[in-house]
A = this chain, B = another copy of it.
């Protein structure tokens, strides 16, 4: 594979150029004619579809139903929720004409759908028997971001799911908010093998109109944090504005509590950044479109036997999970005749395939395989074929776990405590990652840091005990003083640069 096909930028020294090259050369996405938009290519789409499937199964199993709401939101609808308008106004793309005719009212291309869905919740919810109402849509949304757009990480149009629920009580809305955040955590940690930090967003950075916003943050190797999903407890704010009420068991009218939560194609960007290296993508087996690639290595005189062996092997690997009920292993035989084995090795490394099997005449003779792991380059030669087939699931699991552990260690090492303004600034200046500090809750204190280095409070972490049942249990009185203003501290805060 020539220079033009391989990655020529260093992830360490030039992460931005590295990212751009990986996205394009690994066939994940391409740049669209409209600035800030992207074309998701089949390989990138398979990754997004895998994330979709994983999350979809979780929400299906916990009572969420799919629906679809219109792309266009009338301006007056958006205005009904003042906080929403303020939050999104500078980012809204406006439709003003249908064919040759100017529209009587201009239409927002949805930046999010709270103000579209709330009126229908109001219409559909009559009695406590209609609750909880849990809706989700997989959709495209548009936010006219002005700067720093990058495929997956920040695009003007992106794909996401947005969940919208209505409940009888505050407790139920709290539980829902937390449940969805924890399901995001399962997707990000178990499926994408990226450790995360869960917590609140600061009051001044929450979703417009929400009671509170929870976030799942992931730390990238360049030391920046990516907000990988958010779950909002909307309180009764939207329910009051849009009249979402119900008759309770005592025939009294009550106002609902609502939530919303979203996970977007941005997670694909986090996946690329978190695991990639200077040879390209590295994909955890669970999300990899191709989990194992078989590369036959032959001369003219042994071509037939090597190819035959490889084809049989591919079929055996595909079925290597005992029961036909489970998903087949996603295996590909690269039998292209016009490419050399070396070219193929590089290409599949670039595409991040977790395990490569090499089959040459020696392997055929010994009834064996040679395996090379993408994550750490470990090569095992002459592994007995039958033994390999027995262990193949375990091998993939091992790769998945070891990719997670690597990043988990990195995350732990890069949370540094600081207890004064100078220490915060010094730590951010010298190091990557999160700076953990006591904070009073005032935006001004965050601003003092933000003004000097381009870092902000990305998350107020939940306390680290094992999972409590409700969001309240995540709150804690930390005591001590704010590191910036010395007033009483409210919570721990993580400062970081972010995407």
State the A residues within 8 Å of B (CB): 30, 32-34, 37-42, 45-46, 49, 65-74, 77, 89-100, 106-107, 109, 116, 119-120, 123, 129, 135, 139-140, 142, 144, 146, 156-157, 159, 324-325, 338
B70 touches A45 (CB 8 A): no
Contact residue among B38, B96, B99, B123 (Cβ-Cβ distance under 8 Å from A70): B38
Residues from chain B with Cβ under 8 Å of A90 in the complex: 99-100
A67 touches B89 (CB 8 A): no
- The 3 closest A-B CB pairs, nearest first, are A98-B144, A42-B65, A40-B68
| Alpha-carbon distance A119/B33, docked complex (angstroms) | 10
Q: Could you show 9 A-B contacts with beta carbons less than 8 Å apart?
A: A32-B70, A40-B68, A41-B67, A42-B67, A45-B68, A46-B66, A91-B98, A98-B144, A109-B109
B72 touches A107 (CB 8 A): no
What residue in chain B is nearest A96 (Cβ atoms)? B96
Contact residue among B37, B45, B99 (Cβ-Cβ distance under 8 Å from A91): B99
What residue in chain B is nearest A100 (Cβ atoms)? B90
A113 to chain B, nearest CB (A): 10
Q: Using A120-B39, A129-B338 as known contacts, say yes or no to A93 and B93 having CB atoms under 8 A apart.
A: no
Residues from chain B with Cβ under 8 Å of A107 in the complex: 34, 93
Residues from chain B with Cβ under 8 Å of A109 in the complex: 71, 95, 109
A68 touches B119 (CB 8 A): no
A96 touches B98 (CB 8 A): no
Residues from chain B with Cβ under 8 Å of A139 in the complex: 140
A45 touches B72 (CB 8 A): no
Residues from chain B with Cβ under 8 Å of A30 in the complex: 120, 123
A66 touches B93 (CB 8 A): no
A165 to chain B, nearest CB (A): 13
A67 touches B96 (CB 8 A): no
What residue in chain B is nearest A32 (Cβ atoms)? B70
Apart from A33-B73, A34-B72, A45-B66, what 13 extra A-B contacts exist at CB < 8 Å? A33-B74, A33-B119, A42-B65, A42-B67, A42-B135, A45-B68, A71-B140, A71-B157, A72-B142, A72-B157, A91-B98, A92-B99, A93-B107
| Alpha-carbon distance A93/B37, docked complex (angstroms) | 18
| Alpha-carbon distance A40/B157, docked complex (angstroms) | 22
Residues from chain B with Cβ under 8 Å of A324 in the complex: 325
| Alpha-carbon distance A40/B71, docked complex (angstroms) | 12
| Alpha-carbon distance A332/B142, docked complex (angstroms) | 38
Q: Using A129-B338, A324-B325 as known contacts, say yes or no to A96 and B99 having CB atoms under 8 A apart.
A: no
Q: Using A40-B67, A42-B65 as known contacts, say yes or no to A95 and B94 having CB atoms under 8 A apart.
A: yes
Q: Using A93-B97, A109-B109, A144-B98 as known contacts, say yes or no to A69 and B33 having CB atoms under 8 A apart.
A: no
Residues from chain B with Cβ under 8 Å of A144 in the complex: 98-99
B96 touches A89 (CB 8 A): no
Residues from chain B with Cβ under 8 Å of A40 in the complex: 67-69
A76 to chain B, nearest CB (A): 8
A105 to chain B, nearest CB (A): 9
Q: Using A72-B34, A140-B140 as known contacts, say yes or no to A93 and B89 having CB atoms under 8 A apart.
A: no
A78 to chain B, nearest CB (A): 11
| Alpha-carbon distance A433/B156, docked complex (angstroms) | 47
| Alpha-carbon distance A339/B341, docked complex (angstroms) | 69
Residues from chain B with Cβ under 8 Å of A45 in the complex: 65-68
Residue among A70, A74, A92, A142 with the highest chain B CB neighbour number at 10 A: A70
Residue among A65, A67, A119, A144 with the highest chain B CB neighbour number at 10 A: A67
| Alpha-carbon distance A37/B69, docked complex (angstroms) | 9
B39 touches A71 (CB 8 A): no
Residues from chain B with Cβ under 8 Å of A68 in the complex: 39-40, 45, 159
A99 touches B89 (CB 8 A): yes
Residues from chain B with Cβ under 8 Å of A96 in the complex: 94-97
A106 to chain B, nearest CB (A): 8
Residues from chain B with Cβ under 8 Å of A89 in the complex: 99
